């Protein structure tokens, strides 16, 4: 008969204590031990408290079963941080939890180092319950640690839902018992980090002053396609689209002496095409229909690496007398208005496709599939879970508030909420796996030689750092390609992403299975990059990339990989800051100091 000490750690923030009875059973290949009640009479599991209980068992445990049982008419929840089994003869066994228990359904935790479930060689109870960690009520607000201001989502099981035809499926918010409960107190600014940023508004003032001074300049206009909030549309132009009939006579004075339009098409011309907007029905503001342009912009950069400059703009996709090509040689007012309409279209595509679809909605897909298909001890779950903090919250709030009839989008955009959703659906039709993988995206757009493209340069450094980190973690748990292809949990996970997130569209190139180590590393790198760095490049940040406040990885090897990853990010940040010293307008969006760990805002 072995004696185990059960060490129970409770979260250290508000609302974690519970009146409910919690019992624990040890699970192993031989079966299940008798339940052991944790806690005592009254309010147990106080904030930050570590309590201990003894358990006698002949089992060699590799899993724990937690069994909540309400002790009152008004059941409450308990946030379990971690459990440990301590034996006099063996090293401690770690069972990371980091979730709320409420209700009566059991939660099974597999041991932290017992990560992969290649063959169901354990007790049938473990096999049947290993994926049911979502069948416990989650209070997601506190999932992010000691944050006090948050919505609380409590639900029984994550289900997929279709929000709008053609969009990635999302969390079924109809099952949420509590949609939006916000807790706020004096700790809010502390927890969100505002007090540590006193004085940072001076950078914002400098940026605003720079924009106010240069917003009409062609060079600044063009630079926004490189290092603004939507740096993913510009592509090298080797042949003009048939519906953009720019001639040599139009642009020859802008190209310089001794060259021609045809010669510059060999690698010095770039195109930004907002054709996704063509034909969308405009919305109404104050009862008046709005105008939606679908422009094409031709830009030129001399081979010596001079500034990128716009040389022609057409505001709609069908050429004709009512759709002229605007040139810098036109009147100052006409040229400025043409550029302004381009910026208006850029806003719509940026907000609805680059930002909302390709970071928010896609990250939610990864989060739901991860929490439905992977047990908490799985290395992929541990690797990805920090990058999903608050993604459910912000997306559900956005769908409920921003896209409602008469909401902010109806009041402030030319498309209205229905037109914007249709734009997202159009973006979904052309979204591909390659477009989500930065190195492939850049290669497909032909922008490797484009000068002063800081988004590209900084993004590739971040991609490389994430890829090395992911590779180091994966090598710990997957010794060969076969271990990837035989991981049934992993294969179910990627299949669900393909079917629910990318709607089973084979043209997307999203894999339906992962066969090799390289397949897995690239797929995970893509998820982390788009849930952190890419979102930072097109939005703003809260928790820094590389932050792992919850200890999901309990072994020493992955902890060393995390430390190496964090060190690499520090070096990248220093390199970027040194580069920025020589720029009139520093590019900081992909400085790791400004990259949040998840899509949280």
Q: pLDDT tens for residues 228-243?
A: 989 999 999 999 999 9
Residue 574 domain flag: yes
* Dihedral, 90, 96, 102, 106 alpha carbons, nearest 10: -50
Residue 203 domain flag: no
3-class secondary structure, 180: coil
Residue that wins the pLDDT comparison between 406 and 118: 406
| pLDDT at site 66 | 72
Same domain, 431 and 365: yes
Residue that wins the pLDDT comparison between 462 and 556: 462
Q: Helices 218-227 & 454-477, crossing angle to 10 degrees?
A: 0
CA distance 426 to 353: 9
Same domain, 380 and 288: no
Q: Can you give the CATH number for the domain in which 430 is found?
A: 1.20.245.10
Residue that wins the pLDDT comparison between 341 and 208: 341
Same domain, 53 and 73: yes
Q: Can you give the CATH number for the domain in which 86 is found?
A: 2.60.60.20
Residue that wins the pLDDT comparison between 152 and 209: 209
> What does the mean pLDDT of the chain come to?
81
| pLDDT at site 559 | 78
pLDDT for residue 151 is more than 50: no
pLDDT for residue 148 is more than 50: no
Closest by CA position to 222, among listed 138, 328, 322? 328
300 conformational bin, left if phi > 0, alpha if psi -120 to 50, beta if neither: beta
Q: What is the mean pLDDT of residues 573-597?
A: 85
Percent of the chain at pLDDT > 70 equals 75
Residue 152 domain flag: no
Same domain, 273 and 324: yes
pLDDT in tens, 163-182: 999 999 998 876 544 444 43
Same domain, 496 and 364: yes
Closest by CA position to 597, among listed 542, 553, 527? 542
Same domain, 447 and 411: yes
Q: What is the mean pLDDT of residues 31-41?
A: 70
pLDDT for residue 112 is more than 70: no
**Under 8 Å between Cβ of 253 and 267:** no
CA distance 10 to 144: 14
pLDDT for residue 434 is more than 70: yes
Q: Look up tokens 């760095």; give the residue.
A: 533
Same domain, 338 and 407: no
Same domain, 435 and 471: yes
Ligand-binding site membership of 15 (annotated): yes
For residue 493, the enclosing domain spans 354-581
Other beta carbons less than 10 A from residue 322's beta carbon: 7
| pLDDT at site 189 | 39
Residue that wins the pLDDT comparison between 212 and 409: 409
Residue 28 domain flag: yes
Residue 450 domain flag: yes
> Quick one: tokens of 286?
């104050």
CA distance 217 to 239: 27
Highest mean pLDDT among 25-39, 430-444, 563-577: 430-444
For every residue of 295-341, DSSP letters joined together read -EEEEE--TT----EEEEEESSSS-BTTBPEE-TTS-HHHHHHHHHH
3-class secondary structure, 216: coil
Closest by CA position to 410, among listed 400, 420, 422, 424? 420
Q: What is the mean pLDDT of residues 587-593?
A: 85
317 conformational bin, left if phi > 0, alpha if psi -120 to 50, beta if neither: alpha
Residue 197 domain flag: no
Closest by CA position to 50, among listed 14, 84, 2? 84
CA distance 260 to 268: 11
| pLDDT at site 25 | 81
Q: What is the mean pLDDT of residues 196-206?
A: 48
Instruction: Give the residues across from 99 on adjacent strands.
Output: 80
CA distance 581 to 469: 29
pLDDT for residue 223 is more than 80: yes
Closest by CA position to 38, among listed 27, 30, 49, 555? 49
What domain count does the chain have? 3
- HSE of 412 in the Cβ direction (CA atoms, 13 Å)? 9
Residue 601 domain flag: no
Domain end point (choices 349, 373, 390): 349
Same domain, 368 and 292: no
Q: Helices 454-477 & 517-531, crossing angle to 10 degrees?
A: 130
| pLDDT at site 59 | 65
Domain end point (choices 109, 130, 151): 130
| pLDDT at site 90 | 78
Ligand-binding site membership of 355 (annotated): yes
**Under 8 Å between Cβ of 420 and 166:** no
Residue 466 domain flag: yes
Ligand-binding site membership of 454 (annotated): no
* Dihedral, 157, 6, 558, 388 alpha carbons, nearest 10: 20
For every residue of 61-95, DSSP letters joined together read EEEEEEEEE--SSS---EEEEEEEEE-SSSPPEEE
Length of the chain: 601
Q: What is the mean pLDDT of residues 332-349?
A: 97
Highest mean pLDDT among 122-131, 212-221, 391-400, 559-568: 212-221
**Lowest mean pLDDT, pick from 51-65, 355-369, 420-434, 509-523:** 51-65
Q: Can you give the CATH number for the domain in which 321 is found?
A: 3.10.450.60
> Quick one: tokens of 152?
């609380």
Ligand-binding site membership of 249 (annotated): no
> Quick one: tokens of 405?
């009839």
pLDDT in tens, 271-311: 999 999 999 999 999 999 999 999 999 999 998 888 999 99
Closest by CA position to 141, among listed 386, 389, 397? 389
Same domain, 253 and 368: no
Ligand-binding site membership of 40 (annotated): yes
* Dihedral, 382, 384, 385, 388 alpha carbons, nearest 10: 180
Q: What is the mean pLDDT of residues 442-446?
A: 98
Cα–Cα–Cα angle for 505, 385, 172, nearest 5°?
55
Residue that wins the pLDDT comparison between 571 and 269: 269
Domain end point (choices 103, 130, 157): 130
CA distance 521 to 501: 19
Same domain, 342 and 422: no
Same domain, 327 and 359: no
**Under 8 Å between Cβ of 45 and 39:** yes
């Amino acid at each position: 008969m072995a004696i185990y000490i059960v060490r129970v750690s409770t979260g250290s923030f508000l609302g974690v204590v519970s009146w409910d009875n919690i019992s624990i059973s040890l699970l192993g290949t031989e079966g299940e031990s008798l339940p052991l009640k944790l806690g005592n009479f009254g309010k147990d599991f106080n904030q930050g408290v570590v309590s201990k209980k003894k358990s006698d068992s002949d089992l060699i445990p590799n899993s724990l079963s937690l069994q909540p049982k309400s002790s009152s008419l008004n059941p409450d929840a308990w946030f379990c941080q971690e459990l440990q089994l301590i034996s006099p003869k063996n090293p401690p066994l770690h069972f990371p939890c980091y979730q709320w228990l409420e209700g009566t359904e059991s939660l099974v935790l597999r041991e932290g180092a017992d990560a992969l479930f290649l063959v169901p060689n354990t007790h049938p109870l473990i096999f049947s319950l290993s994926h049911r960690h979502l069948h416990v009520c989650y209070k997601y607000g506190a999932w992010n640690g000691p944050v006090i201001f948050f919505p609380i989502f409590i639900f029984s099981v994550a289900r997929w839902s279709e929000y709008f035809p053609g969009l990635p499926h999302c969390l079924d918010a109809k099952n949420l018992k509590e949609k939006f409960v916000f807790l706020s107190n004096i700790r809010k600014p502390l927890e969100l980090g505002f007090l540590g940023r006193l004085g940072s508004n001076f950078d914002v003032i400098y940026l605003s002053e720079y924009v106010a001074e240069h917003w009409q300049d062609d060079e600044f206009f063009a630079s926004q396609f490189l290092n603004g909030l939507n740096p993913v549309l510009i592509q090298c132009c080797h042949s003009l689209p048939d519906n953009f009939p720019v001639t040599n006579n139009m642009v020859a004075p802008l190209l310089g002496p001794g060259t021609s339009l045809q010669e510059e098409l060999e690698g010095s011309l770039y195109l930004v095409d907002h054709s996704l907007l063509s034909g969308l029905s405009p919305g109404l503001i104050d009862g008046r229909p709005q105008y939606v342009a679908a422009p094409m912009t031709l830009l030129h950069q001399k081979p010596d690496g001079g500034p990128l400059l716009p040389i022609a703009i057409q505001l709609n996709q069908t050429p004709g007398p009512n759709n002229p090509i605007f040139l810098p040689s036109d009147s100052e007012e006409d040229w400025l208005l043409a550029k302004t309409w381009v910026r208006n279209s850029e806003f719509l595509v940026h907000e609805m496709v680059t930002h909302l679809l390709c970071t928010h909605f896609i990250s939610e897909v990864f989060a739901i599939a991860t929490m439905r298909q992977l047990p908490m001890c799985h290395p992929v779950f541990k690797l990805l879970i920090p990058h999903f903090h608050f993604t459910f919250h912000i997306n559900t709030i956005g769908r409920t508030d921003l896209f409602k009839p008469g909401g902010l989008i109806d009041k402030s955009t030319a498309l209205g909420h229905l037109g914007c959703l249709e734009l997202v659906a159009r973006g979904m039709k052309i979204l591909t796996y390659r477009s989500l993988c930065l190195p492939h995206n850049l290669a497909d757009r032909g922008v490797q030689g484009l000068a002063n493209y800081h988004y590209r340069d900084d993004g590739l450094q971040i991609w490389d750092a994430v890829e090395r980190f992911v590779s180091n973690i994966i090598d710990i748990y997957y010794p060969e390609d076969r271990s990837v292809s035989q991981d049934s949990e992993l294969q179910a996970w990627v299949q669900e992403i393909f079917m629910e997130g990318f709607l089973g569209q084979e043209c997307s190139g999203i894999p339906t299975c992962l066969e090799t180590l390289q397949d897995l590393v690239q797929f995970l790198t893509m998820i982390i990059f788009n849930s952190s760095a890419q979102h930072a490049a097109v939005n703003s940040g809260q928790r820094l990339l590389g932050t792992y406040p919850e200890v999901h990885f309990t072994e020493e090897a992955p902890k060393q990989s995390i430390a190496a990853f964090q060190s690499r990010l520090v070096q990248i940040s220093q390199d970027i800051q040194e580069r920025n010293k020589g720029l009139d307008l520093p590019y900081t969006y992909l400085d790791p100091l400004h990259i949040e760990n998840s899509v949280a805002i």
